[in-house]
Chain A
Amino acid sequence: MKRIMKIAATTALVVLGATAVYAGGGQEGATPGATATSGRGGTRVELLGAGASFPAPLITAWADEYRDVTNGRVTINYQSIGSGGGVRQFMERTIMFGATEAHLTDENSQLARQNTGGVAFNMPITLGDVVVTYNVPGVETGLIFDAETIAAAFLGEIRSWNDPRIAALNPGVRLPNLPIQIAHRSDGSGTTNIFTHYLSRVNQTWADQIGFGSSVNWPVGTGGNGNEGVSGIVQNTPGALGYVQLSYAVLNDLTLGYTKNKSGNIIQPSFEATSLAAAVPMPSDGRIMITDTDAAQGYPIAGFAWALVYENLDRNPAITTRNQAEELTRFLYWAVTDGQDLNEPLSYARLPDDAQEVAINMISALKYEGANIGEQVIADVRANGF
């Protein structure tokens, strides 16, 4: 009897204690929000984001660096749950920002306008690039492909490595009579979105029969989970042809195919070539697919990764205080300016100037309860640093 009373009492205490701590934590965030019109309240803020797994290592590195820059004032909690989950949670407004490799559809943009009375920004933060990788005995890195051969191979029309169409592009390379085994991503992924978007742009049959998306109905081939799954298939299967993220291929020393772009130049995949591909006129809403780029030296199989953020930050229930909104704005501004220095060391392409400008324009349009905090924050950062 006594013991049970004791247990009950202890439980009650623990629950009460937890509630108190929780409530306290809530207050801590809330009080400065009301007073922090001048900028940093000196309180700690956690920014909650979720989405695409491709930029996750970069965002995590940004988070570490940014915590140092702000002396621990701002921590970023980014959950790599995939573009689909990121978009869904962003639309449900349970996170402060999302990240995705497929920009919002018109439908979702409209829904966002209904929900928040403002725009949902697709803010470019980095670029993804996709390379073909293969396992052909006796053939090193640098086999040349063009739009037609890649599309025909992935449609199952080119069945053997010594097909004249591949041979014509690679004079002097001894191609074996080996069946081509296609390897593709089995999980939905932004990499697939970029790759199939490229195929849809360059090949009418592909566009009609398959289309593009983060998961498609592949006509041929074996599916592997993640970049590592695809490269595993390629490495273990003589004759395999697959596609992976460039950063993954570089880190793991995979064989890279070079690709002939729209201008007829043979482009060796590199982060510079990817940034060049994005040096095209940017629409102000950031929603552009840059596959099969017009840029003469640009790599053709590339695309943006976007951060998703609402124009009216106060209409997102995940953001509860003005202080949080300002810190989020400040972080986003840092990410597309100073943060970009981290991209290339981490094998991510840098935003080209045009795209950076678009992103900054979006940031300066951010509002909280009608007040234009974007411009304020940017002016404040330019005067006082982060």
Chain B
Amino acid sequence: MADVVVPASARAAELIPARYRNPGDHFFKLVVLGLSSSIILLAVVMPVVLFIEAAPTFRAFGFMDFLTETTWDPVAAIHGAWPFVVGTLITSFGALLIAALPAIAVAIFVSEYAPKWLARVINYTVDLLAAIPSVVIGLWAIFNFAPMMRDLVYMPIYMWAIEEAEWLIPIIGAPSTYNLITATLILALMIVPYTVALSRDAIAQVPVEQREASWALGSTRWEVIRQAVLPYARTGIVAGLLLSLARGLGETMAVAMLIGNRNRMPFTLFGPAATMPSVIINEFREAVEPLHYSSTMAVGLYLFVVTIGINLLASYIQRKLSISKGVL
């Protein structure tokens, strides 16, 4: 039984008369097919369920009006997602802006400059950083990072602004310990490992010939990086940045712990704010009123749409921007 001939390809398997075929092949095919279609099914079912649960909210306020409404008042049964959409965009794009350059620099250093042993140490440390649970980072920030930043950075800047630059006050606001900028900085810290890892992989994909050709033309090391490595790796890097952004969008725990959870616009840099994941995790559990409950679901649906959109954009860019125009 064990010495059944393994067909060279599925095509070949079709040619073998049924009675010689191993039913295990068929069984395995069914299992694999079932499992992989269940993934697709899941991705379809999730937004459908979210939409059904969110339907009362969309009926009450309208799909677009719920997006642009700025009041979130469970007592008065008025719900709008705008503050959370704004908060999410500010924190995640802010975090990406802060994290991108250092992360790309680390990736370049690791793959082009560092000796092997040092590169290994750095890679290992970066991967380790990615493995820290966000709640742990959040706790550290609550007790150390945020109070320190308040005393050393926010308060001095605020005091200075009162004296010297009053026009800044509406932007930065009165400092609270947990605020928009703290959450953004911690979010930046949390997406750095992803950005580094993805940029590193993109750079590692650059063929050796590409580099060697550049060296052969007499380029300096900087010129090799700038003219041969980066143009080749840029699609991977940009796609990696977008994937990091998507991760930042969905980050929940650390942000909810640090952002100060203010559901009212306008937001200021040093004042509390809120994001889509933070309001869901805060209010979902105790949402008794049907409209309140379905509004948290609706915010979840928006978050789903935004994240899917960014992921699609990432794969689009990966194909469009690549030197080989998606052929490779």
Chain A residues proximal to chain B, CB less than 8 Å: 1-4, 81-85, 87-88, 102, 179, 181, 186-190, 210-219, 221-225, 229, 232-233, 236-237
Contacts and interface: CB of A to CB of B under 8 A. Distances in A.
Contacts of A224: 178, 261
B285 A187 contact: yes
The residue among B142, B288, B293 with the most chain A CB atoms within 10 A of its own CB is B288
For the complex of A and B, the 8 pairs showing the least CB-CB separation, nearest first, are A188-B286, A223-B261, A186-B261, A82-B285, A211-B75, A217-B73, A84-B286, A222-B260
Given A221-B272, A222-B178, A212 B282 contact: no
A281 B260 CA distance: 40
B260 A187 contact: no
A22 to B, nearest CB: 24
Given A87-B288, A222-B262, A232-B142, A215 B257 contact: no
A187 B282 contact: yes
Contact of B24 (A1, A85, A214, A233): A1
25 contacts: A1-B1, A4-B23, A83-B288, A84-B293, A85-B285, A87-B288, A88-B293, A187-B281, A189-B286, A213-B74, A215-B74, A216-B73, A217-B72, A217-B73, A218-B263, A219-B264, A222-B261, A223-B261, A223-B274, A223-B282, A225-B282, A236-B143, A237-B147, A237-B150, A237-B177
B292 interface: yes
B146 interface: yes
A222 B176 contact: yes
A1 to B, nearest CB: 6
A53 to B, nearest CB: 8
A84 B1 contact: no
B177 A217 contact: no
A102 B287 CA distance: 11
B22 interface: yes
Nearest to B279: A186
B15 to A, nearest CB: 20
Nearest to B71: A217
Interface string B141-166: 01100110010000000000000000
Given A82-B285, A222-B261, 4 more contacts: A1-B24, A84-B286, A215-B283, A216-B75
Contacts of B1: 1-2
Q: How large is the interface on B (under 10, 10 to 19, 20 to 34, 35 or more residues)?
A: 35 or more
Nearest to B78: A217
B13 interface: no
Listed residue (A179, A215, A222) with the most chain B CB atoms within 10 angstroms of its CB: A215
A224 B24 CA distance: 56
B169 interface: no
A4 B178 contact: no
B117 interface: no
B77 to A, nearest CB: 10
Given A85-B285, A88-B288, A233-B177, A217 B74 contact: yes
Interface in B166-220: 174, 176-179
Contacts of A217: 71-76, 263-264
A233 to B, nearest CB: 6
Contacts of A219: 264
B145 to A, nearest CB: 11
B4 interface: yes
Contact of A188 (B4, B23, B71, B283): B283
A216 B287 CA distance: 11
A214 B142 CA distance: 24
A225 B139 CA distance: 12
Contacts of A213: 74-75
Contacts of B22: 1
B285 A81 contact: yes
A82 B176 contact: no
